[in-house]
Structure 1
Amino acid sequence: MVTKNQIKLVVSLKQKKYRSQHGLFVVEGEKTVNELLQWGLKPFKLFVDDSLNAEGFKGYELVSKTLLKQMSSLTNPSGVLGVFFMPEAKKNEDSDWMVALDAVRDPGNLGTIIRLCDWFGVKQLICSEDTVDCYNPKVLQATMGSIARVNIIYTNLEAYLKNTTVSVYGAFMDGEPVYDQKLPSNGILVMGNEANGISKEVSALITERISIPQFGEITTESLNVATATAILLNEVRR
């Protein structure tokens, strides 16, 4: 039976400070929850709507639709909710490409970028301390389970880049066209804030400024950061 304290704990995990305090985060949806289990993330508690066919749900606690809605961040809960322990960040490997984010604030953008890293086989995502929390419920929804396969660290991005031994590529509107670049087998791709791009402090540490050429006649302000990341990672792998 689910206790009031358990419900209170799950609800509190909607806020970053409580996720950090308890080292726990919430994921919703049968596919995503089972994917995290499959990839070895450690569950704290698993809940399933008791009106669903419970066969095949091993280790889940049955709860009423009303209780699940209390715990859920969704307007229409999916019926499956998992509370997981945050995985420990793995040792950084710089033998391949990495992505670094400088103050990316939109949860949907971060979630999509995590999914892109997974798609393109980028195992390491480095986030500035002011980038949105990767365990934000909206981020987790957008990752579609990819969070289990990408190692994410939050750190002082300037200090990190100062100490790296690999080439640092940054996305800028006035950079050299990426299609003209001979990209190395490893490096760091830095993507900036949605409104302001890469900060001056981080820009000073970029060794190669690259851009995505525009072919349309009408000038748009810029590409969405997640869209730009997809195009640049495609070039990295191509």
Structure 2
Amino acid sequence: MFNKTHTKYIQSLHHKKFRDENAVFIAEGTKVVLELLDSREFVCQQLFALNEWLSDHAKTLQQYSGMELFAVKDFELEKISMLTTPNNVLAVFKKKEPVQTLPVKGKITLVLDTIQDPGNLGTIIRTADWFGIENIVCSHACADMYNPKVVQSTMGSLARVTILYTDLEAWLQENSAIKKYAAALHGKNTSELRGVKEALIIIGNEGRGISDAVMQLADEKITIPKRGEAESLNAAVAAGIIMSAVG
């Protein structure tokens, strides 16, 4: 039976410290929860949902063993939800073991330098999934991939895109044989990337762009042609445009 202990536990998982300590994360909403379950990339430990939702998805839930199911009321779900308007279901999933290496040969790999906004990171992951980009490399200063806002923004793509957190400068030096393109305000038109099959594409911080140290390791700067008066593009939007250009 759902109780105050569950409430306190779920609320603690809104914070990275406790997600790390327990090696779990939370996901909310029918689409996200069912996609993560269906992927079998993540093990679901606990699932909290309204009675009607549990009834509607009873057959589906029978496929997944080992998780605890809890029927909760609207006000109980509201207490544990991160959403302004709580959905019908919230689940606690076990994190995957962190990856130590990623294959970059013959692939387009996205490299993120200090993307700190969880919504941006989640959108970039989802967009990478759309364009078939399997791997993303993040600096340690990027938002946590298991932040509830990141998980929510990915809409399930978290199960299909592999993410490595690492010392970006060291990693780029280790992979110096792969051509590195850095998104900047001035550089080669992104349209010239069409047909590129192997590359590291670097996207910088929302406000400061790519750090000087990382920029020095890039082989070439690329830019999205500007026609209007906006000073810059949102990092997730820029990443999407560049991924589209490569594709």
Decide: shared fold, TM above 0.5.
yes
Paired position in structure 1 for 2:64: none
Q: Deviations over 1:19-50 (max 9, x none)?
A: 11111100000111010000012101011112
**C-alpha separation between the residues in 1 aligned to 2:207 and 2:56?**
48
Kept in 1, the 8 Å contact 2:206–2:234? The answer is yes
The count of corresponding residues between Structure 1 and Structure 2 is: 235
Is residue 187 from structure 1 mapped to residue 188 from structure 2 by the alignment? Answer: no
SS at 1:214 equivalent = coil
Q: Which runs of 5+ in 1 are unaligned?
A: none
> Which amino acid counterpart does residue 68 of structure 1 have in structure 2?
L
Is residue 235 from structure 1 mapped to residue 236 from structure 2 by the alignment? Answer: no
**C-alpha separation between the residues in 2 aligned to 1:153 and 1:7?**
31
Paired position in structure 1 for 2:137: 126
Paired position in structure 2 for 1:153: 164
Paired position in structure 1 for 2:221: 209
**C-alpha separation between the residues in 1 aligned to 2:53 and 2:145?**
29
1:179, CA displacement in angstroms? Answer: 2.0
**C-alpha separation between the residues in 2 aligned to 1:63 and 1:205?**
52
Q: Which runs of 5+ in 2 are unaligned?
A: 62-66
Is residue 5 from structure 1 mapped to residue 2 from structure 2 by the alignment? Answer: no
Is residue 82 from structure 1 mapped to residue 91 from structure 2 by the alignment? Answer: yes
Q: Percent identity?
A: 39
Kept in 2, the 8 Å contact 1:101–1:128? The answer is yes
1:181, CA displacement in angstroms? Answer: 4.3
**C-alpha separation between the residues in 2 aligned to 1:56 and 1:181?**
45
1:51, CA displacement in angstroms? Answer: 4.9
Mean Cα deviation higher: 95-104 or 49-58: 49-58
TM-score normalised per structure 2: 0.90
Is residue 105 from structure 1 mapped to residue 116 from structure 2 by the alignment? Answer: yes
Root mean square deviation of aligned Cα: 1.6
Kept in 2, the 8 Å contact 1:50–1:65? The answer is no
Kept in 1, the 8 Å contact 2:194–2:246? The answer is no
1:53, CA displacement in angstroms? Answer: 5.9
**C-alpha separation between the residues in 1 aligned to 2:85 and 2:238?**
32
Go from structure 1 to structure 2 and tell me whether the alpha carbon gap of 1:7 and 1:231 turns closer, same or farther (over 3 Å shift): same
**C-alpha separation between the residues in 1 aligned to 2:19 and 2:116?**
18
